[in-house]
Structure 1
Amino acid sequence: MNTTTDTVFIPGATSGIGLALAQRLQERGATVIIGGRRQELLDDLAAAYGFGTVRIDTTDPESIRTAADEVIRRWPELDAIVLMAGIMVAEDWRGPAFLPTAESIVTTNVLGPIRLIAAFTEHLQSRPAGTIMTVSSGLASVPLRPTPTYNASKAFIHMLSESIRLQFAGTGVTVTEIVPPSVRTALLPGQEDNEQAMPLDEFADEVMDLLERDPGAHEILVERVKFLRFAEARGDYDTVVGIVNATDPHAAAD
């Protein structure tokens, strides 16, 4: 991704990491289109930052198709999509009540990105250089006890990124995976105030620095996430699992 000249669509950029990256891309000269479900919030953000906006519900296949058609029609120079929309919800698999939550997470975190890629893949291959940017998590490598489906959904995104990168080789489309650690956002209740999580601005600034240094990188790994990402390779996986689940406030036993 060229952070200064690309036209970028970011569904799920009305808050948190998505909004922070959208702001930084816009400041550097990129044309940024953000997507979200609430039109009034999109309008406010467009007025504040100059973003293009498209209403989209990434849990709804028809909404994805309609939004993709609109984005490509209004911004035919689109170069990149950033698959930012996702949810993280605690669940307890020791009884059947977890099932609706698990299904909702899979719909948003797994089917959403699959459907978005399907909607844009032909267009991105028509560009001189296209980018599919996925967003996984350090929890794709080391599990957090209360969020099994979220962990698994991000492991899926990691392997999907690795796999489709092989298929897109030679097409001009780059597949880049952002791998966040715990970041101070509203992804989970109380996470915005979690001092163990990485400050949002610090995370976004480091991501932008890494993108600018290596626009074709396979993975964007801030230093804070490497403790999780490489636990198995270092041979201390069990130790890291224990540390993560002993120190994260969301991992406390019920």
Structure 2
Amino acid sequence: MPSDHTVKSFDEELSVLDNSIARMGGLAEAQFAGAITALARRDSELATSVIAADAKVDGLQGEIDQRALKALALRQPMANDLRTIVGSLRIAGELERIADYAANLAKRSIALNQAPVMPSVTTVARMGELVRAMIKDVIDAYLERSVEKAREVWRRDADVDEIYNSLFRELLTYMMEDPRNISPCTHLLFIAKNIERMGDHATNIAELVEFSVTGMRVREERPKQDRTAFAVVEPPATRGGRTGSA
């Protein structure tokens, strides 16, 4: 049987992993919040700093990978401990993708600053705030090993999809109304899709939390509401109810 010293040492290693996930989650959340602020305020300098911050998240992922793989090799954990270590590896990967999307968002916001202000930016920022809260809450759920909190985040992904569906139609309408809107609206569409994907990654983490705690995968169908692949947008009507040019 392992000695008390060995058990304590292993517990400390798991605690370090938790702390690293918390730091990585905090950095990814801050990077995303900065990107949304840069978009709303048309702040290219802030956007540039967000892009540069991505390297810190990548570095933390490398540290987590090394610690987790070392623990797997030396400790040969079982049951809960094994799920915790494998979960930390996978959650780090999800957070790294969130940070990548935040950097992409910041790059798009710099390009948008060269165009007139689009009214849809406010809705995109509101969508971003919903996802930012999901990221924060799902990391809290992981650290607290709370399946209930993880499930609550999991259910909120449907709200993000509903906003994305609405934005998709709105932006396509703007593009059809005036060709000059095509470039800024295209950037906003990519930004909105990046945010929607961040919500998906937060939902993935919620599922990983539940598996780490219970050993069971979520059996319910994920509440996805993204219908943009099937969207049909009618051209804007002209005077007299006719569409198109005469």
**Which has the larger helix fraction?**
2
Task: Tell which has more relative contact order, 1 or 2 (C-alpha 8 A, sep 6+).
Answer: 2
Q: Return the TM-score normalized by structure 2.
A: 0.30
**Which has the larger strand fraction?**
1
